[in-house]
A and B are shown apart, each in its own frame.
Chain A
Amino acid sequence: MGITRREFLELLAGGAVALGGLRLLSLISTHAQADLVRPPGAVEEAYFKRLCVRCGICLEVCPTKAIVLAGLEAHVEAIGTPRIEPTVGPCEFYRGRCETGARCAGFCPTGALQPLSKEEVKMGTAEFSSHRCLAYMGKECIVCKETCPVPGAITVISDLPPKPDFHGEKCVGCGICVYHCPAEPKALTLGPEGARRARWLG
């Protein structure tokens, strides 16, 4: 049962069309994210996609298993690249439960993730929806503030009950508040806005 040259070329063309179609689809679809929350020390997105070889080592070494592989929620060219999923686990590099320079970056074989210091990390910003927040529904909850490791990133509005106030410019995007938010669905999501990327000097 062989394969003819014709069939082979047809398959190749079909694949190319399918990939192009997926890419077009992700342009239309509102769900596809152009930017993803990358692990700490990621280089600028355009370089990141080229440098990342989708080896998955960062997933394996992450102490909190906060890194997952991007699937169809990402654009086609980013499928299989690592992203932080705070509902699975938060990135605890800023808080200190990781190695100096970030474990994922230390193990990255291509330099798509570059070792960095705690002060440099900014993976994104926690986004807050007050209509899902338990405190805004009148319940006693301030778990986000309790667990936030960044001084001043979440402050409290003295009200009854007290409510959280988010300061995106101070947020490092670790996702700890998102992970611990007890609301269902969560009142917090983690977005890539404001992420500070490492420079690629290769």
Chain B
Amino acid sequence: MQRQVSRRKFLKALGGLAVAAGAGGVLWEVFRPKETLNPAKPTKANAYTQNGRALVSIIKGKPETDIEAIVRRSVEAIGGIGAIVSAGRTVVVKPAVLTSDPDCAPDPRVVVAVVRLAREAGGTVIVAESSGGGNTAYSLSQVGITSAAEHAGAEVRALPSEELLLMEVPKGRAIQSVKTFPTIYDCDVLISVPRLKRHVASTVTMSLKNMMGVVPDSEKRRFHNTDLSQCIADLNTALKPDLTVVDATFAMTRTGPTGGDMVQMDTIMASGDPVAADRVTAQRLQELEDRLGIPSFDPAGVRHINAAAALGVGTVDPSRMIVREESIF
């Protein structure tokens, strides 16, 4: 049994298929799910101030001092966790985990101390990250944060597995909108936990630069293609941490964010103002490098810190901060 297809029939079928494909494409354009632009999160004032000046604490311990005690003191010194976390709040702790190298990430004990503090204040704690340099879940577990944070009662989320959400950046200069993750958009309190580090491209990487980890890789690529420092500042106008706890138990000097020389400082610095935190910690890093004879940088000239200050994220003006420095042994 042979079925004959005439040339005419064949061409007709071909034409029909082309028309159907075209119509399908048009229908898809019309009915495809549109990306909704979500409004920016309401901005909150710095909860840690005194007479309108931003508080920054610098607490130094000794190598044998319990790291958790230093972290607790650093937060207490500016006013305690209760100023931002109350019962039933969802708290996201954002460690800076670039790769699976533990030197790059904050010490898991610092993350755990922050998790415990937030939980004691009644918060539900999520440790969330979107690593820039590889698989996030793998990096989080390799640096020891996953097991430590889960043991402390937090949920650990690798953000890249989440759906994306487009958010407005009303104050942005280089970016007007940004994609982020529901965990970040829906949380009540955001706590940034970076390590004190040098960075070859952005000079330093602390709290402001840490916010690169609440956006997907596609946005990080866009930032690098645009103007990184301005993008970091813009991002922080929309997603600003309520508290920054900088891990300077060991600081990365000379180069970074990977492969620098680790210098023991046994220090934790905390602030409700990420710009003030970055400005003060950058100063400390520069002083440390000066003492070690490492060619350093101008802490008043870090572009993304100054750009964030210009957009009103926080202050770089020393007369508008109060630095509380203590040693606990």
A97 to B240, CA, bound (A): 32
The answer, yes or no, to whether B95 is at the interface (CB within 8 Å) is no
The answer, yes or no, to whether A168 is at the interface (CB within 8 Å) is no
Q: Chain B residues near A184 (CB, 8 Å)?
A: 225
Where chain A touches its partner, the secondary structure class is loop
How many residues on B have C-beta within 8 angstroms of the other chain's C-beta atoms? 26
Other 5 A-B pairs with CB < 8 A, given A95-B99, A146-B133, A147-B98: A97-B135, A134-B225, A140-B224, A141-B224, A145-B258
Q: Name A17-58 residues within 8 Å CB distance of B.
A: none
Residue pair A95, B228 in contact (C-beta under 8 Å): no
The answer, yes or no, to whether B202 is at the interface (CB within 8 Å) is yes
Residue pair B201, A142 in contact (C-beta under 8 Å): yes
Residue pair B224, A156 in contact (C-beta under 8 Å): no
The answer, yes or no, to whether B259 is at the interface (CB within 8 Å) is yes
Q: Chain B residues near A162 (CB, 8 Å)?
A: 200-201
Residues of A within 8 A of B (CB): 64, 92, 95-97, 134-135, 139-143, 145-149, 151, 156, 161-162, 176, 180, 182-184
A64 to B137, CA, bound (A): 13
Task: State whether A139 and B225 are in contact (beta carbons under 8 Å apart), knowing that A147-B133, A156-B200 are contacts in the complex.
Answer: yes
A162 to B201, CA, bound (A): 6
Once A and B bind, how many residue pairs between them come within 8 Å at the CB atom?
A: 69
Residue pair B257, A146 in contact (C-beta under 8 Å): yes
The answer, yes or no, to whether B227 is at the interface (CB within 8 Å) is yes
Task: State whether A134 and B224 are in contact (beta carbons under 8 Å apart), knowing that A142-B201, A146-B98 are contacts in the complex.
Answer: yes
Q: Chain B residues near A182 (CB, 8 Å)?
A: 220-222, 224-225
The answer, yes or no, to whether B329 is at the interface (CB within 8 Å) is no
Q: Chain A nearest CB: distance from B296 CB in Å? A: 12
